[in-house]
Amino acid sequence: MLVARLEPRPTELHPTNAALPRFDRTTFHLSNLGCPLMVCVLMKVHVIVMPKQSVLDPQGVAVRNALKDVGLETVESVRVGKFLELEFKTPPGEMKLEEICRDLLSNPVIEDYRIQYHSTAEASE
């Protein structure tokens, strides 16, 4: 099995539209490699959830203080958020993804999120 990695630049979508890279569950041939390969494109979606700027982040304050204690005196502020990696063979629609980010992965009262689309291609003979 040969695994090829396509590395398109991540597309950030926040909070609304930007072009979604067109990686559907597609198979095609890499004929220029001399042999036909079936390529299945996986889409990785990264969701970054951060406390809103207006919300006090006591965890971030504690980490900042610890950083100062270990000698990083120049650190001004730290905010602690979450990083989620979702993997799809069949990516959901943009609307659906926004919906799950808003309703489940983040709480809009206290958090902001952003979505990054990546993709990896797995090819096999």
Applying CB under 8 A, the residues found at the interface with another protein are 54-56, 58-59, 62, 82, 104-105, 107, 109-110
**Cα–Cα distance between 89 and 84 in angstroms, integer?**
17
Closest contact distance (angstroms) between CB of 67 and another protein is 16
Nearer to another protein, 24 or 103 (CB): 103
Nearer to another protein, 65 or 124 (CB): 65
DSSP 8-state secondary structure symbol assigned to residue 93: P
Amino acid found at 88 = F
Nearer to another protein, 10 or 60 (CB): 60
Please give the C-alpha separations between residue 7 and each of 10, 13, 20, 60, 118, in angstroms, as whole numbers. 8, 18, 15, 32, 8
Closest contact distance (angstroms) between CB of 15 and another protein is 17
